[in-house]
Structure 1
Amino acid sequence: MTHTLLVAGTASHVGKTTVVAGLCRLFASLDTPVAPYKAQNMSNNARVVPTPSGETGEIGVSQYIQARAGDVHPTTDVNPVLLKPRGDGDSQVVINGQAVGHYEAREYYAEHWDRARSMARASWERLAEEYEYVIAEGAGSIAEINLHHRDLANVETARFADADILLVGDIERGGVFGSLLGTLSLLPDDLRARVVGCLITKFRGDRSLLTPGIEAFERRTGVPVLGVLPYDDPGLPEEDSVALPPETERATIGGDDGVPETESVTIAVPRLPRISNFTDLTPLERTPGVRVMYLPLSAGKQLTDADAVVVPGTKNTVDDCLALRSNGFDASLRAFDGPIVGICGGYQLLGERLTNAAVEATGSVDVVEGVGVLPTETRFSTEKHVEPVSRTIHGCGPLDGATGTVTGYEIHMGETKLLSPVDQPFDGTGAATDRVLGTYVHGLFENRPVREAFLDSVFAHAGLVRPEADESARRVDLEAAYDRAADLIREHVDLEPLGLPT
């Protein structure tokens, strides 16, 4: 019989994703068949996977990495419902990997929630037939009492999966005992009875200082605290933009590698309001001698501090292109003389123009001028392109000298055509000039030949020599991140009350 554990939280960003990934990795190391699951996720960071019927679909990046941590080849069953926010309260609804349209929350609950629940349950049932354990991740807080009647990832999952519940609270925010106690008190009686323990995450300092609070909490609630995880980022990709700096703040990631700032390069990333798949930047953030600087759109003049620019994906290319222009960031990009790479939506907005824009944008505009640094035009339609890709590299522009194969995935609406002949870096796709490259391939910098060639061009433009350093020191390798997440669970959590292997 399958055992399902729901890892629920007192709030968003309390560490649920890391806990599930760590549990999946731990079980895999014990040769225990385990699968992750999240009935409904909200994220613009997605990965391409097969559906159970063999088609191609998309899931949230967290369930992808959790599956890989558990040595599972993921399908859309691990995340049957994905909501991809586009701004202004509107999200693209993806069910079983396929986009079904754009809806505001009220429309989604009125028109699609019953179907979503049915499909989510069917996905869990297929996983339960194949795996001994299913580790489900909740969404946000399980204590949102206004949503309990339609809380698919928490309440409904716990009920249809007959799941035990592990409640996770984040002590870094302060008030962890109040958060745990308040959450328990707001749960429906049947869910409250399913809570087998609590877990405190992101603790810094002397563990013994928590003992009086833990003992008092356990006396008051009768619910054991099964572990306290120290503050330690294993290096897993982030699920959503909560982990990014606010749109109005400049922030730099990297620089903790021992390489002096005078010997490092800075890669600027415009902080698009509807940024998506920003995990494409993670391999650069974790490379020695590289600092990734997220810039507010109002700070375009600060590109003078950068040695290169990467324009990431966006869930709404048209509106983000208009936001670039209204802030003057487009002019800064045109004036920038260093390497520029645009990925997916970033590729689209670097072109000359966007047509049939009303399909993509929240307004009624039909043609929007792009940044104009690539001779391309993108026409939008309602058809969505989702596929894994593997292509031969033809080194050119910022990737001059790169050879081999690039693998990744494409998720986009709209088709891009060349308006004049330029180099195409990947088997007749994408576009490149001597300093600007655009491509639809997500996961681009996970490919070492691409990453090396791009950084060679960035260091050369900066007049610097790339430092010789072990990339593992910055944790480019996800396998090591999975192992660290498992070690956190193994060393700090009592698994026996969860009914899980020890």
Structure 2
Amino acid sequence: MSARVLMVQGCTSDAGKSALVTALCRWLRRRGVAVAPFKPQNMALNSAVAADGGEIGRAQAVQAQAAGLAPHTDFNPILLKPNSDTGAQVIVHGRAVANLDARAYHDYKRTAMAAVLASHARLCERFQAVVVEGAGSPAEINLRDRDIANMGYAEAVDCPVVLIADIDRGGVFAHLVGTLALLSHRERARVVGFVINRFRGDIALLQPGLDWLERETGKPVLGVLPYLHGLHLEAEDALPRAAAAKAGARLRVAVPALPRISNHNDFDALRAHPQVDCRFVGPGETPPACDLIVLPGSKSTRADLDWLRRHGWGEAIARHLRYGGRVIGICGGLQMLGRAVHDPHGIEGEPGSSAGLGWLELETTLEPHKQLRNVRGRFAFDDESATVAGYEIHCGVSRGPALQRPALRFDDGRDDGALSADGQVLGTYLHGLFDQPQALAALLRWAGLEGAEPLDLGALREAGIERLADAVEAHLDTARLARWFGLEDAACTA
């Protein structure tokens, strides 16, 4: 089998590349095509544990769901997890191999490209179609040399490219024409069409611009995707845009927006719940009065712990607990709630130790081997029938008497996390803590919301994927898409 490959590149970050790849994967799956998603290089702190035990970008796990597949490290062979403004942990085929600054990684790209092409070849052998997501913009001319994320990859595998732009940002025609202008002649020839994303209004008023764009560039507009209000799809990396306060909210949740926050998709269920007002609180904002504070995961736990203190969260948490509030720490947040965090090997920065917030009797040491697991289990307190499921991604090993009162019991026989003796502070290494309906209900009840409305995050995600595929069906040139993927003359069986 030799797959048909189509790449989606964007004029900007957050133009809609991830969403369009997700939509195309589901659209092809509906037609019986064996399709796989692919992102050669992803820079993100939202990650997932694949079925083969490695780590990939969270967006590729969602795209795998759209394609009806278990996540696999070949779907995202290079993952960069920033741990400073100039450096990142480099993950190749699911495993961390180095911490490199930008210049060193530029030199490493030849090795990274070999890993990308190896994954590409394996996918092309296994699937009928591969839908590829670029990164950032192909017009970042300073990154053109040794590029593996956009046109460098497209040139290496000789695949067509669709360019998507976000009209909701404004300047959509400038984005598209300007991006083309900054490409080489060969790269421009590789672009086979445009998609305009997040349009709201009267399409008739946009049509003159679409006609001009096609005349000016000689490229077809494949369609205009509408702004899908209320769409639930996990953000690839950037924090979701702030929403208006929920008028009917009965539980207020505050999450500090740490500089190196990781896996903030942990809070998607809380943000989606109609009775919960969940807010990310950034620098310069006073920690608000609330019912529940959740400390999220972090790629740089000690640095983010210092950030918490500098922005008043130490005092805010103490006051919050004094008035009966509840606190949860997830992964790095669990480590921050302990007595100390030690990094003797300099895994996340300069070697050293930092005092924790001191609400749980445990200490954490960061160790070179990263623990990656998909897990299932139950709560060890309150409602022990409530099931949890998610994944662990952490270098820290926590030890101390607090762990004798665990928060969770996993099906593999391990206990996880801790619950304080007064029942107000909970810590866990489990990402996805709120995702299962029973677990969400139990945690909301623990935090003070009795009789919470049920919410199934998995069902919401699936409905979002279906909406995206419906939008492709209704608003894109599916006849042209079908020809690119060889559907008119291929026997498409999954």
1:310 and 2:294 are equivalent in the alignment: yes
Per-residue Cα deviation, 1:285-330 (whole angstroms, up to 9, x for no partner): 111211101112554542x2x1111111111101001111122211
Q: 2:141 is aligned with what amino acid?
A: I
Give the direction of change, closer, same or farther, for the CA distance of 1:252–1:489 in structure 2 (3 Å limit).
Answer: closer
Structure 1 gap ranges (5+): 246-250
Which position in structure 2 is the counterpart of 1:339? 326
Which position in structure 2 is the counterpart of 1:239? 236
Which position in structure 1 is the counterpart of 2:59? 62
Which position in structure 2 is the counterpart of 1:102? 99
Which position in structure 2 is the counterpart of 1:269? 255
Distance (whole Å) between structure 2 residues aligned to residue 87 and residue 189 of structure 1: 36
Contact 1:10–1:169 (Cα < 8 Å) also in 2: yes
Which position in structure 1 is the counterpart of 2:77? 80
Contact 1:307–1:458 (Cα < 8 Å) also in 2: yes
Distance (whole Å) between structure 1 residues aligned to residue 9 and residue 402 of structure 2: 53
Per-residue Cα deviation, 1:80-129 (whole angstroms, up to 9, x for no partner): 0000011221100000100012111101111x211110010010110000
Which position in structure 2 is the counterpart of 1:290? 276
Distance (whole Å) between structure 1 residues aligned to residue 188 and residue 343 of structure 2: 51
Distance (whole Å) between structure 2 residues aligned to residue 129 and residue 93 of structure 1: 26
In the TM superposition, residue 475 of structure 1 has moved relative to its aligned partner by 8.2
Q: 2:472 is aligned with what amino acid?
A: I
**Aligned residue runs from structure 1 range 77-476, under 5 A:** 77-110=74-107, 112-232=108-228, 234-241=231-238, 243-244=239-240, 251=242, 255=246, 260-261=248-249, 264-302=250-288, 304=289, 306-337=290-321, 338-356=325-343, 359-364=346-351, 366-395=352-381, 400-420=382-402, 422-427=404-409, 428-433=415-420, 434-460=423-449, 465-466=450-451, 468=453, 471=455
Aligned length: 473
Give the direction of change, closer, same or farther, for the CA distance of 1:34–1:254 in structure 2 (3 Å limit).
Answer: farther
Which position in structure 2 is the counterpart of 1:248? none
Distance (whole Å) between structure 1 residues aligned to residue 83 and residue 42 of structure 2: 14
Distance (whole Å) between structure 2 residues aligned to residue 81 and residue 291 of structure 1: 35
Contact 2:378–2:384 (Cα < 8 Å) also in 1: no
Identity of aligned residues (%): 39
- The two structures have a TM-score, normalised by structure 2, of 0.92
Distance (whole Å) between structure 2 residues aligned to residue 214 and residue 166 of structure 1: 16
Distance (whole Å) between structure 1 residues aligned to residue 12 and residue 173 of structure 2: 13
Per-residue Cα deviation, 1:209-267 (whole angstroms, up to 9, x for no partner): 111111111111110101001111531100112x446xxxxx55662xxx624xx2111
Contact 2:253–2:294 (Cα < 8 Å) also in 1: yes
Structure 1 stretches of 4+ with a deviation exceeding 3 A read 251-254, 297-301, 419-422, 465-468
For the residue of structure 2 that corresponds to 1:146, the secondary structure is: helix
Distance (whole Å) between structure 1 residues aligned to residue 306 and residue 67 of structure 2: 42
Q: 2:23 is aligned with what amino acid?
A: G
Distance (whole Å) between structure 2 residues aligned to residue 189 and residue 280 of structure 1: 43
In the TM superposition, residue 137 of structure 1 has moved relative to its aligned partner by 0.3
Contact 2:44–2:80 (Cα < 8 Å) also in 1: yes
For the residue of structure 1 that corresponds to 2:149, the secondary structure is: helix
- The two structures have a TM-score, normalised by structure 1, of 0.90
1:33 and 2:29 are equivalent in the alignment: no
Distance (whole Å) between structure 1 residues aligned to residue 165 and residue 36 of structure 2: 23
Contact 2:380–2:407 (Cα < 8 Å) also in 1: yes
Contact 1:334–1:372 (Cα < 8 Å) also in 2: no
Distance (whole Å) between structure 2 residues aligned to residue 467 and residue 318 of structure 1: 35
Distance (whole Å) between structure 1 residues aligned to residue 22 and residue 136 of structure 2: 17
Contact 2:345–2:367 (Cα < 8 Å) also in 1: no
Distance (whole Å) between structure 1 residues aligned to residue 204 and residue 384 of structure 2: 53
Contact 1:10–1:183 (Cα < 8 Å) also in 2: yes
Structure 2 gap ranges (5+): 410-414, 489-494
